[in-house]
Amino acid sequence: MTPRTIYFDESGFTGSNLLDPAQPVFAIASAAIEEQRAADILAEAFPNYQGPEYKFANIWNGTQRSGLLRLAAHLCAFEHLAFIYAIDKRFAVLTKIADFLIEPCFTDAGYDFYDEGFCWKYTNYIHFGLTTFAPPTLLTTLVANYQRFSRNPSEQTLAALADQLGLMRRSVEKELTIFFEQMELGARLFTKYNDLATFKQSNELQSTTMAAIIAHWRQRFSEDFAVVHDASSNFLRGKDIWDRITNSNVPKQMHRLGDGSYVEFPLRVVSTTPMNSLDSRAVQFCDILAGVGAKYFDPRTAANDREFMNSLIEAGISNIPYNGIRPQPVFPDRIPPKRLTGPDTVDQMTRIIFGRHNDKR
């Protein structure tokens, strides 16, 4: 069976700095589109475009923005052929706080913190509490303190984080006390569960996002996948993890995802190829979709820009399925979560990434 080629491009990558105020959203768009079809669509949507390659930033900030409406009209045929994954980076930091400060104690107590998307739902619960019962500065201060530690993990920055969380715990409304008790306890016990010398994974978004996107495609198509991504992207920074996740020697298994759905491993990615975006209209097509996704979910998009984005949705952008990490009013069905009955989804993924099968590569 001929592999299905899936193209990727991204918007809003800021490395380990997840709180860059100029780019609050990270988005990756993917599409199973042929090069010629991408070229035809882009030429029709932007007939007067000047430049060697189509770039969302040039279109949005130039005179070709109306062409996005023509592009959107083509997307009714892409319901199963494109996908956007968008991350609110500040909320992602909050999920990291839940992952690394709150989850270990839940697990030690015998609960599955990830079953049926509990981690994400619980983070929504925390976010709702912070934005309802506290001044806006508290959430900003909380994520900034965690980022300060996570970007430079040491005994000193960890102690400072724990002290800050203790100060917050003593000063917040009673509705929020439990969250800060959990965070502070997690910070005090952090070295029981993590090695500060090797703790760098907390700010990684790209490889895990690519894996989530491939899981989306694997749930929908039976072919092997040939991945093509923009060579100028930062994807290769996480190439080792990507190679491990897509290792063909991973034992065949159904892996439960954080939202409770399942994906079959191996993911059957038979090749991953960087391509100069100048040479690929399909990659450029993804650049535009990623830019639209990042702009749409950017809370700073307002007034006339927001009206235009709403027009794009009505014109056809709404046909593109999307997922990601953003605050939503979806909360846990039960607290605490279900009891552990085996390795949780994170432990299972760790085995996939670092299992003995990876020694065979």
Joined tokens for residue 219: 């749930």
Domain range list for the chain: 4-89+205-325, 90-202
CA angle centred on 245, ends 241 and 248, rounded to 5°: 130
Question: 290: closest CA among 217, 209, 215, 211?
Answer: 209
User: In the prediction, which pLDDT does 258 show?
Assistant: 65
User: In the prediction, which pLDDT does 129 show?
Assistant: 97
User: In the prediction, which pLDDT does 353 show?
Assistant: 64
Confirm if 6 and 226 have CB atoms less than 8 A apart: yes
Q: What DSSP state is assigned to residue 341? A: -
Confirm if 70 and 43 have CB atoms less than 8 A apart: no
Joined tokens for residue 135: 């001044």
pTM of the entire predicted model:
0.92
Confirm if 264 and 218 have CB atoms less than 8 A apart: yes
User: In the prediction, which pLDDT does 361 show?
Assistant: 40
Residues of the chain scoring pLDDT < 50: 360-361
CA 299 to each of CA 25, 269, 293, 296, 317: distance values in angstroms, whole numbers, following the listed order: 9, 35, 12, 8, 18
User: In the prediction, which pLDDT does 264 show?
Assistant: 85
Q: Which residues pair with 87 in a beta bridge?
A: 26, 325
How many CB atoms sit inside 10 A of residue 206's CB? 20
The full DSSP string for 227-277 is: EEEETTSSGGGGHHHHHHHT-TTSPPEEEEPTTS-EEEES--EEEEEEE-G
Interstrand relation of 262-265 and 253-256 (parallel, antiparallel or unpaired): antiparallel
227/270 Cα distance (integer angstroms) = 8
User: In the prediction, which pLDDT does 357 show?
Assistant: 67
Confirm if 196 and 189 have CB atoms less than 8 A apart: no
CATH class of 4-89+205-325: alpha beta
Confirm if 202 and 148 have CB atoms less than 8 A apart: no
Give all strands of the β-sheet with 322-325 in edge-to-edge order: 269-275, 225-230, 4-11, 25-31, 82-88, 322-325
User: In the prediction, which pLDDT does 123 show?
Assistant: 97
User: In the prediction, which pLDDT does 135 show?
Assistant: 94
User: In the prediction, which pLDDT does 320 show?
Assistant: 96
For 87-115, what is each residue's pLDDT tens digit?
999 999 999 999 999 999 999 999 999 98
User: In the prediction, which pLDDT does 346 show?
Assistant: 72
User: In the prediction, which pLDDT does 358 show?
Assistant: 65
Tokens 């045929």 -> residue: 77
Provide long-range contacts, Cβ within 8 A and 24+ apart, for 166-174.
168/138, 168/141, 168/142, 172/133, 172/134, 172/138, 173/133, 173/134
Confirm if 231 and 284 have CB atoms less than 8 A apart: no
Confirm if 242 and 210 have CB atoms less than 8 A apart: yes
